[in-house]
Structure 1
Amino acid sequence: MAGTGDRLPDTGALPILPLRSAVLFPGVSMPVDLGRAASVEAVRQATAQGRRGVTANHVLVAVQRDPMNDRPSFDELYPVATLTRVVQVLRGLPGRMTVIVRGVERVLLDSLEDADGFELGHYHRPPEVASELTMLVALSSVLRDLVKRHESLLPSSRVSQQRQESVAAIERERDPARVGDLVAHLVDFDSKRRMELLEQLDPAERLRRLIELLAQRCNELEVKRDIDRSVRDHLSRHEHEAVLRHKMRAIQSELGEDDEEGWLEELTRRLDQKILPEEVQLAVDRELGRLERMNPQSSEAMIARTYLEWIAELPWLVPGRPVEQAPIDLEAARARLDADHHGLDKVKRRVIEYLAVRKLAPNQRGPLLCFAGPPGVGKTTLARSIAATLGRRFVRIALGGVRDDAEIRGHRRTYVGALPGRLIQAMKTAGTVDPVILLDEIDKLTGANLRGDPASALLEALDPEQNDAFEDHYLGLPYDLSKVVFICTANELGTIPAALRDRLEFIHLSGYTLAEKLAIARGHLLPKELRENGLSGQVIYSPGRGSQGRGDAAASPEVEVDDAVFELLATEYTRESGVRNLQRRLAALLRDVAMQRAEGRAEVDRIRVEDVGRVLGPPRFREELMGHGPRGGVCTGLGWTPVGGQLLFVEVTTVKGEGRLRMTGRLGEVMKESAQAALSLVKSRADHFGVSADLSKCDVHIHLPAGAVPKDGPSAGVALTTALVSALGGKKVRHDVAMTGEVTLCGNVLAVGGVREKVLAAHRAGIRDVILPAHNRKDEPEIPIAARKDLSLHFVSHVDEVLALSLLEG
């Protein structure tokens, strides 16, 4: 019992200090930082003033099984503890303390008892294990020799004055058992090995185990020393030059001279500041090592430098590190959508549902939205609104014109001028791991002259189950895209490959009605164009020709725009489902006003209907309105195009011949087959349809105007049949009726697609009656209410119903 003068009893209770990982051996002094209130109180009780008896200044030191447990129970402590004397107490910050303790002997813990703010440990001294003294002395001598060998193998950086004093203490110690404890503390064994040595109560077995462990450690150090020596002895000339260049840079830095190669230190500093995934960090360390040994002027060094700069500039998602996300305000999102987009109620509702799910489950991987519709209906603006609501950076990737899959997945670094793909470039532009990336015009990834399959290259990035390890060919490392919100846009879904289409949830945006176009022009386009053309100020909508009385009584307006101007632009100067061309025509009118003001001419403060023809020229789309009256052999059909619906006029005439069928107008194979089926239907039921012409002595010619525009599809079947019956039976077709539907040889009318766009085209053209297949009644709710109010929709299931609605007698 060194330093006490009295022997502690074989059993007793002392305050206990649980250590998280450090192991204290008998005969060893060690500082311990105390932060737990129970440990601080235990030391205070052990060193309290006025305390008497042989147990004064003594505590029990035990090791926890779980280092993260702040209040370990008896079962969570190792059973062998160290009876310890508190040598010195150093006060620190409030609630903390540093003590220097010295181990006395091993004891066995019996139980723990809660005291006033600390815990008492009940212990008993283990029975002594008899060992032959001669064997103990021999083992301790072997252990001393191994300690000398171990210290000689250590690198000079690890040799300190404290280690030298510890080795000297081992040489002076005469107790073989105590020699083992000092060596176990000196050598850097892990906590598990040290605890095994503390729990070994037989001194001889403890010394044998120490000899085995220390001999193994010495062998490892010898092998490492030999490898290091071999590497140093076999440095190549290139590596030797790298060392010399490093020394030269250090000398230049000391002399204050310009360092032309300071970029390497700067690049290393930037990479050290980045928190990278483990696999990426290993690749960076390996590439930096290669770069330091290269000639900075070599092409390989420039490739490696560019590669490391890309890694330094990219945002990396490290597993286990949370990503802060801005709160989602659904009311603000709804207000922003209403401010940015007029109409589109169903689309806005789906976007709000998407944002609501993101708010409730921010870490879940939601669906991949794809806004599908004609140009100019607001697909890109919707994606920007989603990004603003989520509080994330917005990056747009234009996929139109991409013909090489390497533009998506990058080029390998072996190629000259290699770069990462569009996705990695977008992540660099965003500068964050969770941007909103818009893949614009995803349907344009297919076509002729492709190198590889760009659409398939997107599959891994867009699949939520795979994109947490997206691998770009240039980086050659897994890149986590799981936090990115991808949004796509498309005009035509048929060209999107099936595998890619299966991963997308489509939200369809159809064209606007005339009323919606006028509201958008008034509320959105005009203020924007006034700002862009230098005419911003108070805007007045004064009642003009065709006006509905909307106006504002401003005292000094800058620009007045007649309501009839908007209606004229939307009906006779543009033909589209969106409003992009409408915006261009309006901008042209405002540029004319700006030009007159800039030239100092008479102050122009109003745009009238008369000004439209002067600036824009004659109307361009008068011919697309409905016909002027009923005609024989001419029927108005409805067609669908990627930019919206349009009128499709069918003309049929007969000439003397041999009963042949001739078709012109650049018709596709499906439409030709539909025309043949319609003619066969008319021939088979000629008497029923009132066809008096001898079809064996006349040729039938079917023509669809606008011969330069390709046309295809089966939806013109009812229009072809109606035009044939009209031409062959001498009846006229109503000019204010438009129709669509596929017809069979039995006269049944089958469903078609694009009903909303076709009905809107008829509404724009002034049609009043629209004939649709009965199976398309389900599409009626998709048609805007304003169009339904102005139109009469007739749902038919047989061609007889079509003829009854469209043909005029006599």
Structure 2
Amino acid sequence: MPMPPQSGSTDRSTPSDSLFQFGCLAKVLRVERVGFGGYAIFAEGVSRFRVQAMLQDKPHLLAKVEHFVEQVEDVNSRDGDLLTQITAFRELSKSFISKMRDLQLPDPLIAQLSKLMDNSKSGVLANILVSVIETTYEEKLEYLSTTTLKARLIMANEWMTRQLHDMNDWLMKCLKVLKISQQIHSNIEGKLSKKQREYYLRQQLNAIKTELGEKDEQTQGGSAGSAEDEEMSELKRRIIAARMPKEAEAVAMREFKRLKKLHPSSAEWSVSRTYLDVVADLPWSKHTQDVLDISKARSQLDGDHFGLDNVKRRVLEYLSVIKVKGDLKAPIICFVGPPGVGKTSLGKSIASAMHREFHRISLGGVRDEADIRGHRRTYVGALPGLIMHGMRKASVNNPVILLDEIDKTVQSSYYGDPSAALLEVLDPEQNNTFTDHYVNMPFDLSKVLFIATANSVDTIPAPLLDRMEVIQIPGYTFEEKLHIARQHLLPKQIKAHGLEVDQVQISDETLLKLAENYTRESGVRNFERKIASVVRAKCVEWAEFKESGNIDNYNQHVTEKDLETILGLQTYEKEIAQNDAEAGVVTGLAYSGSGNGDILMIEATYMPGDGKLQLTGSLGDVIRESAQIALTWVKAQAYELKLTRSPNVNLVEHRDVHIHFPAGAVAKDGPSAGIALATSIVSLFSGKRVPTTTAMTGEISLRGRVLPVGGIKEKVLAAHRAGIKTIILPARNRKDVTGDVPETIRNSIEFVYVQTISDVLQAALIIDERGMEVSSHWIPSRLESHL
């Protein structure tokens, strides 16, 4: 144990010089990790020792010590003075315990000390009590250096007597204060008004402080009290300034009065204070003024996003109605589209165009209903839900709140259904009285413009989907990607990597090749990553030339040949088809659950068997049923198609048919491959092939009618990215092509609209280009003229 340094002296001594002569030998019981990377060490004292000689200072202290074994209490000792000190110490210990009971200390602590006093030796008990009572630092060092039990008991008795005397004085002061308190209460009880009672109670507080000897601290206590009063006054002003509805203000003021009666050290006080802070911070009446300049809003939307005409038109319609009418319930808009097409950034642009506050709420993976509606205040650590938290953060009652990934909330979980909790939030007829469980008062959300985003509507519950206006955002064409890269992505990446705009020059042809051959996605996220890779490569090149002093030799242009050096061999070919068309192989079009369109290869073959149909490729139930319908139709129409020589012959009587969808690890399902499956089977048995640049999508009925399907624009864009030249579509999907597909793509692809499967076969199958004789026995009458 170190000695305290002398005042005014400069300590230049070695560590051994600053140590006290006596110390305590301890045994480490355990070591535990505590917060902030620290450790707690639990040690048990063994014996005191005295340093005889220091052997070394570095790297650690090494000393020769003398151990002192603790003297055991001997009741039969002949030393009368020792027995007298032991008896006096026991009496003082009992008095000490009695005084602690008078002070109303916790009963478990008193019981533990009583048990320790009864079962411990006098020497051990003296060591414990000396560490508990008030003693100076020097007295503790003197006690440590005392090796005999009698001398230590003499010190302990002296200090215990002093401690008990101080406790008696303190208790006398408390009794006197209680008498004063009783006199004040008897004088003011039932005779004075409320203000007069408050005045006399404050006088009572001052009298208590005076009797306790805290008169010098009266000013400090008064300032603390005034600070607390000022804090309560500020809270009341915030509640009034919030301009709540009358019912809400009455609840808040009732809670405020209850808060003033609670003691600040109680747990209920902090709960009530937090609640009032939340209620006072909510924007009950504060809002921003919409900037209703339609031309500026259109310019900003056009500058932030290329294309997306339907979305921009809907936003401008909303602003125009507000400008004409002056008020309009905010619609609930849901942007549905594949990843990376700008759904989230579009919400920010809408908020900026309307000059409103913007707040984003991520719903991906939310599984607790309380995350939306908040926790009830009966729970420990209760907080408001995401909606109220967003309103509090936005600080206005008419922000734009983006509900991101609304299709990825966990439904029907153990903690409730968050999608069901959103029903009231997203209903324009109900959200003017939305009640959060924590706030427990109706709050008006009708002025909030909610914008939801989703990749697919399939996982959104029907009641929730019915409350939203769905706006589809399809993928981008190559021309749109080129414009986005030129206006946004390339300048953004150049700036992010510390270069100037003129230090990286990429031509439109190079950007187009980058989009076509190195990415195949609906959005532009991966496209931006590839652009970032190119910019990083130019950054390395520029840094190397600068280090070598040949900065003039730096070439800022990126050519198509440079892409292969930077990014490696191209990942995708524009022509996805094989070199030669084969019988039984057809290209279909699919729509993925994430909102992307894609091509779907279908391969069919047969082998000797007994008419079984085998399907492979991670297929779902719907697409399996489509394959069954397609095979049934072909078997029923085999004679008319001249695939058999008699109507009584089973086409697959001695054959098994196997249909495979490549990329077997990717799950596939949906009603879009019916005509492609039927065409594949007819091509297989007839030997006629389908061009590799022809793709098709559509469902068939058992009678051979072609039924419409969804996701036409996404499928057409995927076909365009893959280099398809001809697309066969149901006739009832003609309006989707005319209304959604960009004109540039419509002009570059030939669309064939069909009503029956015979129309599909007529448009898809071609004559064998290798000069093989075509047998007329299989050709249906409707195909003879075409072939």
TM superposition score normalised by structure 1: 0.65
Q: Which secondary structure state, in structure 2, belongs to the residue aligned with residue 690 of structure 1?
A: coil
Q: Does 1:365 align with 2:317?
A: no
Contact conserved, 1:333 with 1:385, CA < 8 A, in 2?
no
Match among 308, 312, 320 for residue 276 of structure 2: 308
Which letter maps to 1:270?
Answer: L
Which runs of structure 2 are paired with 1:402-801 in the superposition (5 Å)? Answer: 402-447=366-411, 449=413, 451-537=415-501, 557-598=502-543, 600=546, 603-622=554-573, 625-641=576-592, 642-691=594-643, 694-781=651-738, 782-801=740-759
Partner residue in 2 for 1:275: 242
Which runs of structure 2 are paired with 1:168-179 in the superposition (5 Å)? Answer: none
Q: What is the alpha-carbon distance in structure 2 between the residues aligned to residue 660 and residue 532 of structure 1?
A: 60
Deviation at 1:287, TM superposition (A): 2.0
Label 1:494 to 1:622 Cα distance change in 2 as closer, same or farther (>3 A). same
Contact conserved, 1:670 with 1:712, CA < 8 A, in 2?
yes
Q: Does 1:344 align with 2:308?
A: yes
Deviation at 1:461, TM superposition (A): 1.7
Contact conserved, 1:624 with 1:647, CA < 8 A, in 2?
no
Which runs of structure 2 are paired with 1:290-305 in the superposition (5 Å)? Answer: 290-305=258-273
Deviations 1:411-431 (A, max 9, x none): 111212211100111111111
Q: What is the alpha-carbon distance in structure 2 between the residues aligned to residue 242 and residue 316 of structure 1?
A: 41
Contact conserved, 1:252 with 1:258, CA < 8 A, in 2?
no
Label 1:276 to 1:714 Cα distance change in 2 as closer, same or farther (>3 A). same
Deviation at 1:780, TM superposition (A): 2.0
Deviations 1:310-332 (A, max 9, x none): 123222128xxxx5513311110
Which letter maps to 2:348?
Answer: R
Deviation at 1:351, TM superposition (A): 1.7
Contact conserved, 1:456 with 1:500, CA < 8 A, in 2?
yes
Contact conserved, 2:330 with 2:447, CA < 8 A, in 1?
no
Which letter maps to 1:286?
Answer: R
Which letter maps to 1:289?
Answer: K
Partner residue in 2 for 1:807: 765
Q: What is the alpha-carbon distance in structure 2 between the residues aligned to residue 427 and residue 476 of structure 1?
A: 15
Which runs of structure 2 are paired with 1:158-237 in the superposition (5 Å)? Answer: 229=190
Structure 2: stretches of 5+ with no match in the other structure: 1-188, 195-200, 645-649, 769-787
Q: What is the alpha-carbon distance in structure 1 between the residues aligned to residue 228 and residue 413 of structure 2?
A: 42
Contact conserved, 1:462 with 1:486, CA < 8 A, in 2?
yes
Which letter maps to 2:725?
Answer: R
Which letter maps to 2:533?
Answer: A
Q: What is the alpha-carbon distance in structure 1 between the residues aligned to residue 470 and residue 638 of structure 2?
A: 45
Label 1:570 to 1:604 Cα distance change in 2 as closer, same or farther (>3 A). same
Label 1:763 to 1:257 Cα distance change in 2 as closer, same or farther (>3 A). same
Deviation at 1:260, TM superposition (A): 8.6
Q: Which secondary structure state, in structure 2, belongs to the residue aligned with residue 259 of structure 1?
A: helix
Q: Which secondary structure state, in structure 2, belongs to the residue aligned with residue 618 of structure 1?
A: coil
Match among 325, 329, 342 for residue 293 of structure 2: 329
Root-mean-square deviation (Å): 2.9
Deviation at 1:243, TM superposition (A): 9.8
Contact conserved, 1:317 with 1:480, CA < 8 A, in 2?
no
Deviation at 1:594, TM superposition (A): 2.4
Deviations 1:237-262 (A, max 9, x none): xxx99996999899978447763994
Label 1:270 to 1:702 Cα distance change in 2 as closer, same or farther (>3 A). same
Deviations 1:124-144 (A, max 9, x none): xxxxxxxxxxxxxxxxxxxxx
Contact conserved, 1:419 with 1:474, CA < 8 A, in 2?
yes
Deviation at 1:731, TM superposition (A): 1.7
Contact conserved, 1:253 with 1:259, CA < 8 A, in 2?
no
Deviation at 1:785, TM superposition (A): 0.4
Q: Which secondary structure state, in structure 1, belongs to the residue aligned with residue 415 of structure 2?
A: coil
Q: Which moved more, 1:786-795 or 1:294-303?
A: 294-303
Partner residue in 2 for 1:164: none
Q: What is the alpha-carbon distance in structure 2 between the residues aligned to residue 559 and residue 232 of structure 1?
A: 83
Contact conserved, 2:288 with 2:398, CA < 8 A, in 1?
no
Q: Which secondary structure state, in structure 1, belongs to the residue aligned with residue 458 of structure 2?
A: helix
Contact conserved, 1:410 with 1:421, CA < 8 A, in 2?
yes
Label 1:377 to 1:801 Cα distance change in 2 as closer, same or farther (>3 A). same
Q: Which secondary structure state, in structure 1, belongs to the residue aligned with residue 224 of structure 2?
A: coil
Deviations 1:281-333 (A, max 9, x none): 22222222222222322221221121122123222128xxxx55133111101
Deviations 1:83-117 (A, max 9, x none): xxxxxxxxxxxxxxxxxxxxxxxxxxxxxxxxxxx
Deviation at 1:573, TM superposition (A): 1.8
Label 1:623 to 1:688 Cα distance change in 2 as closer, same or farther (>3 A). farther
Which runs of structure 2 are paired with 1:231-250 in the superposition (5 Å)? Answer: none
Deviation at 1:448, TM superposition (A): 6.8
Partner residue in 1 for 2:231: 266
Label 1:677 to 1:698 Cα distance change in 2 as closer, same or farther (>3 A). same
Q: What is the alpha-carbon distance in structure 2 between the residues aligned to residue 411 and residue 244 of structure 1?
A: 40
Deviation at 1:673, TM superposition (A): 0.3
Partner residue in 1 for 2:9: none
Partner residue in 1 for 2:20: none
Label 1:298 to 1:618 Cα distance change in 2 as closer, same or farther (>3 A). farther
Partner residue in 2 for 1:389: 353
Label 1:478 to 1:649 Cα distance change in 2 as closer, same or farther (>3 A). same
Contact conserved, 1:734 with 1:806, CA < 8 A, in 2?
yes
Contact conserved, 2:474 with 2:595, CA < 8 A, in 1?
no
Label 1:495 to 1:484 Cα distance change in 2 as closer, same or farther (>3 A). same
Q: Which moved more, 1:706-715 or 1:271-280?
A: 271-280
Contact conserved, 2:411 with 2:418, CA < 8 A, in 1?
no
Q: Which secondary structure state, in structure 1, belongs to the residue aligned with residue 571 of structure 2?
A: coil
Contact conserved, 1:358 with 1:366, CA < 8 A, in 2?
no
Which runs of structure 2 are paired with 1:15-94 in the superposition (5 Å)? Answer: none
Deviations 1:358-408 (A, max 9, x none): 222342214222222112222222222221122111111111111111100
Q: What is the alpha-carbon distance in structure 2 between the residues aligned to residue 696 and residue 751 of structure 1?
A: 32
Which letter maps to 1:593?
Answer: K
Partner residue in 1 for 2:57: none
Which letter maps to 2:368?
Answer: D
Q: What is the alpha-carbon distance in structure 2 between the residues aligned to residue 637 and residue 368 of structure 1?
A: 35
Contact conserved, 1:383 with 1:487, CA < 8 A, in 2?
yes
The number of equivalent residue pairs is: 555
Contact conserved, 2:587 with 2:676, CA < 8 A, in 1?
yes
Partner residue in 1 for 2:144: none
